[in-house]
Amino acid sequence: SAPLPPVEMFFFPFVGGGHQIPMVDIARVFAAHGASSTILAAPSSAPVFQRSIDGDQKSGRTIRVHTFQLHEDAVSLDTDTSAAPSTDTSALLEPLRELLIERKPNCIVVDSFHRWSAEVIDATGVLRIVFNGNGCFSRCSFEMLDAHKPHEGLDSEYEPFVIPGLPHKIEMTRSQLPHFHKAPPDGGNQPSGHRRGRPNNNHFGVVVNSFYDLEPQYVDCFRNVMGNRAWLVGPVSLFNRNVEDKAVRGKASSVDEQTCLDWLDAKGPGSVLYVSFGSLARLSSRQLHELAHGLEASGQNFVWVIGKVSGSEGNGEISADGDWLPDGFEERMGETEQGLLIRGWAPQLLILEHPSVGGFMTHCGWNSTLEGVSSGLPMVTFPISAEQFFNEKFIVDVLGIGVKSGSVEWSSWSWRNEVIEPVGREKVEAAVRKLMGGGVEAEEMRRKAKEVKEMARRAINQGGTSYADADSLIRELQNRNGD
């Protein structure tokens, strides 16, 4: 029979670290499975995507970036997402419609935050597949909370309750829940819908950055109980490699990568804790002080990425001379070589995979969670907002590879964390000691984490579930193409 025509897939990421990074990696996944992948971008984000793709020579041949031509005053999708995501997306409606009609791709994979685009896409007849950055565990948890509302009618924000209907006993407090009822800061994007993980209606299916063996019962729930057609193709960060097998990210690192690697090379295997809170979270300077004291007192080696500080001027970028660290802290860390501080953006995958790194203190963003899992690292969980408290339960209570730091509260929908009481230095120190101190419990976590890492690798390789899911979507699109 005649060869089937190639499959053309469009990817439409939402701008911002935790959204755009996995979407570009998903484009890599399908490119690796033979699709011709095109990433759609507004002018100011296009160079970032291009840089990320250029660094990845293998997939560079099959991934393109399409830049929407927009009037300068209408480039609304490119706002820094550390402020509220912009909602004025109307400038993109027409260019998107025209592009889809002209190119007729086999499908478009669109971030669930681009809800505005559903109508336009559906009107063109192009198959719409939704990408929502979370795993199945948090989505099933939301679904069960929504259905049973166990958190309503409690006396206190801190009274524990169990989420009904889940295969594991998951306890939460109301203070840890995203505020379904609060008005979101980003207006038109309607987070109440996607917060609950309910993908927009009428889509063809959902692409998920996870893998079956990581959360089998929750994948089954997501598919069979919640009724989603889902292709689980992750962990997609495992596709984020260039020929030298170095991590390639969209952003340039704020630290010389070689300096960072040399620093790590000088440490013993598994002796370093990597501390990072993702691309958006801003910790208060009080919290940073407690963290600094706790890390220092633990005596453990660490690499600590400090991205943004809340309450600072302008857009929250850190200043070189701020008072957000204890007096003399940085000098001491330099002298003793206990800690390496990275201000801004770190080469996270590179660090996580270095053999000297033995633990990960994380805010439990889903990408970071999966990256930790893929590197076989046990974690200290330090959730701050959004689904992160769910992911913490997943890491600690379901996977059994984490120690909680004790952060219990967020105070607003926003990622500007205004936690009233910071996690104290004693708690930080205790959690770090427990994870890195070599006790029986920690060793068991380390063993399990390595097991999960192997599962992740099996999933994406030929014969694995993520490989099969990616392949089956491509085949389905191919067959429709041939019809």
The catalytically annotated residue of 19, 33, 203, 293 is 19
Nearer to ligand UDP, 284 or 368 (CB): 368
**According to the binding rule CB under 6 A, does residue 81 interact with ligand UDP?**
no
**According to the binding rule CB under 6 A, does residue 305 interact with ligand UDP?**
yes
Contact 381, 395 (CB under 8 A): yes
Q: Within 13 Å of residue 435, how many CA atoms lie on the same side as its CB?
A: 35
Nearer to ligand UDP, 106 or 253 (CB): 253
Nearer to ligand UDP, 220 or 257 (CB): 257
What angle, 0 to 180 degrees and rounded to 10, lies between the N-to-C axes of helices 425-436 and 285-298? 40
Residue type, 433: R
Cβ contacts of 64 within 8 Å, gap of 6 or more: 36, 37, 38, 39, 53
Distance, CA of 45 to CA of 56 (rounded, Å): 18
Residue 16 C-beta: closest distance to ligand UDP, Å: 7
Question: Any idea what the Cα angle at residue 21 is, between residues 373 and 127, rounded to 5°?
Answer: 105
Contact 311, 284 (CB under 8 A): yes
Residue 425 C-beta: closest distance to ligand UDP, Å: 23
Binding mask 166-205 for ligand UDP (x = CB under 6 A): ----------------------------------------
Q: Within 13 Å of residue 483, how many CA atoms lie on the same side as its CB?
A: 8
Nearer to ligand UDP, 199 or 365 (CB): 365
Residue 416 C-beta: closest distance to ligand UDP, Å: 12
Distance, CA of 237 to CA of 309 (rounded, Å): 27
Which two three-digit tokens encode residue 451?
Answer: 């097991």
Residues 48-77 that bind ligand UDP (CB under 6 A): none
Residue 178 C-beta: closest distance to ligand UDP, Å: 13
Residue 135 C-beta: closest distance to ligand UDP, Å: 10
Distance, CA of 438 to CA of 229 (rounded, Å): 42
Give the one residue of 13, 17, 339, 372 binding ligand UDP; rule: CB under 6 A. 17
Nearer to ligand UDP, 68 or 360 (CB): 360
- Burial (CB count <10 Å: 0-12, 13-18, 19+), residue 235: buried
Ranked by CB distance to ligand UDP, the top (closest) residue is: 18
Using the rule CB under 6 A, give the single segment among 14-22, 124-132, 164-172, 441-449 that binds ligand UDP: 14-22
* Separation of CA 232 from chain center: 15
**According to the binding rule CB under 6 A, does residue 302 interact with ligand UDP?**
no
Residue type, 449: A
Pairing of strands 171-172, 161-162: antiparallel
Q: What is the dihedral of CA 242, 243, 246, 249, to 10 degrees?
A: -10
Active site residue 19: yes
Contact 117, 110 (CB under 8 A): yes
Residue 102 C-beta: closest distance to ligand UDP, Å: 33
Distance, CA of 234 to CA of 210 (rounded, Å): 4
Nearer to ligand UDP, 106 or 368 (CB): 368
Residue 393 C-beta: closest distance to ligand UDP, Å: 16
Binding mask 339-378 for ligand UDP (x = CB under 6 A): ------xx-x----------------xxxx--x-------
Residue 165 C-beta: closest distance to ligand UDP, Å: 26
Which two three-digit tokens encode residue 86?
Answer: 């912009």
Nearer to ligand UDP, 68 or 366 (CB): 366
Nearer to ligand UDP, 40 or 260 (CB): 260
Cβ contacts of 334 within 8 Å, gap of 6 or more: none
Q: Phi then psi for 412, rounded to 5 degrees? A: -155, 165
Distance, CA of 42 to CA of 232 (rounded, Å): 27
**According to the binding rule CB under 6 A, does residue 25 interact with ligand UDP?**
no
The catalytically annotated residue of 25, 33, 56, 111 is 111
Nearer to ligand UDP, 96 or 305 (CB): 305
Q: Kindly report whether the peptide bond that precedes residue 235 is cis, defined as omega within 30 degrees of 0.
A: yes
**According to the binding rule CB under 6 A, does residue 134 interact with ligand UDP?**
no
Q: Which residues pair with 218 in a beta bridge?
A: none
Judged by CB under 6 A, how many residues of this single chain contact ligand UDP? 18
**According to the binding rule CB under 6 A, does residue 85 interact with ligand UDP?**
no
H or E stretch including 295? helix 285-298
Over the range 15-25, which residues count as b (16 or more CB within 10 Å of their CB) and which as e? bbbbbbbbbbb
Residues 242-301 that bind ligand UDP (CB under 6 A): 249, 276, 278-281
**According to the binding rule CB under 6 A, does residue 389 interact with ligand UDP?**
no
**According to the binding rule CB under 6 A, does residue 18 interact with ligand UDP?**
yes
**According to the binding rule CB under 6 A, does residue 131 interact with ligand UDP?**
no
Nearer to ligand UDP, 107 or 398 (CB): 398
Residue 113 C-beta: closest distance to ligand UDP, Å: 12
Residue 277 C-beta: closest distance to ligand UDP, Å: 7
Residues at the contact surface with ligand UDP, assessed by CB under 6 A: 17-18, 21, 249, 276, 278-281, 305, 345-346, 348, 365-368, 371
**Residues identified as active-site:** 19, 111
